[in-house]
A and B are shown apart, each in its own frame.
Chain A
């Protein structure tokens, strides 16, 4: 009994020692990978940051109104945000790769899934970011143009545009991530919306003035002889 117990114990101990012996180098490798990954991610982050700084990305995003968007969300500047994002993605990638070395069954598949998923996530986030930005920018542009052209219910027009763009963005982002394949159908349903979006963009950005004049001519109150514009502002 005692012998068996001792035997079992020693066998177990040996097994444990064996598996520790097997596991320890892997753990070391993993730690190494994680540390190296951190270094590489850090370097990547610095590179991205300096590239963006050099390209004056903050100014660009500020001019586009994205800075305020970030500020409202209490987020750091867009340069900082982007470089941090790159850092985390890279490091998490390395961490997962490191965990892979541990050889824990089942995990490997999940991890490889993650790597397949990663670029899609990237695209989705990208689409989402710019979609939201575009929604706020164009809805505002339309609102201003409508008010200054004295169109009826400008808010409604602007809100419609915004909703359409956001819907479109979300469906595109979902599509990119690969979840909810059915949203493709919704997207098709939204083709009309897309068309309108195209018009809105064209009118709002491409030919604001043209569009306004066009709209003025079409929709203006007919009392032309009483327009204030007889006074030159300059």
Chain B
């Protein structure tokens, strides 16, 4: 039997199951030195804000030196910080300050490829005989691995690119300036573990590993999710557990749940993975005023090992991806959420949460309520806690990456620089602009979205059942109501969501909980005891309830 101490340690090492993660790019948050670009010293200064919000983990997007042709996912040096954001010392300062506040830090790690500016690639392409030649995937022809799909269909024609210097083709799954590393080469694997070790030594609490399905290539396959790729990942996990227990790996793999399942292995590969298909279906269910898309996808979601966790999100730095939906569903989503073609990019919609939901406070609350009550660890994209807007006139996905709006003053409190020199223009329109919508103004009122977000995060954190419990759907006859029961040990929580824009009555079959009293978790008021009859609830438009079941 485990000693209490050991089990405490285990609980502690499962911290990611109870976490509420805040996703932020250092560039967008706060500029401490007035150069128009957010930096680590600025981020450190705003940690108090994040602590007050209630989040307990930060996921930092790439901050490494990079030509920045893919928002930093094209890394040119793994062992340093992009000079615009500060230096390693600043990063360390930020990391320590976060840890002091009980906030963990997960950083981005791009394993699949480097920038073509990376010295490794420069050496590798210098001649066909260079010792680093086989660190990348080279070929004399461009017809190998023909069954592999192209991801960035809007910009790339092929997964092979011609290198005029060494007169051969190199392999790239993303942009042509991002050559893929050759993971068949043990030296490369060792090098990349060295990179991870460097950051683990510094104290980071985990990695979000980017683009993991594509590490290896095999002829005759689609070169995704290969068993050899899993072997590489398992090796990384084993080393991590051995040398740095308690740190986590988060997989970015935009796949169907059944294809994602292998990334959890037997609890010996990834700790967490994004549940990509759920997110668009939450939006779809809301628009359809029907729970079907949501219950359907969660039913298709396989069980995962005890020590693994889904991570859930409403919006992130990328487009609202519609890769994991059927054509019919995609068309519906486009018609409902991106009528204007400029809002679409690749296979998705490049918009933020508030504009997607027509800035309807009730719908924003409902979506956040579902995010926080479904099984998984919720991730909040920076700015969504105050309902920031987007700017579709900025290229690529930069419209959802505008500076954080702190107050109504100069540059929205983001930077002391000239407005023209900011890395990105601020939102200026009368609805979403920084003068109307900012942290300071929302802090002043109890009914602001920010205050409400603080409250819901606090309530969520008060009940471990949300992060760790099981889920079971109730199927009331009213299909506009999505209801489920979360359970962990003795703790039971009933969640009821009204997806409809009109008031609804719903009868829930709660017979097996007979004798329990419902206690609404926000106001903590008592609702009638569950008896033999179906439990009747009436719900306002887009209203949701969290009830704690209690026997007394």
Q: Do chains A and B touch in the complex (CB under 8 A)?
A: no
Q: Which of A's residues lie within 8 Å of B, judged by CB? A: none
Chain B residues at the A interface, C-beta cutoff of 8 Å:
none
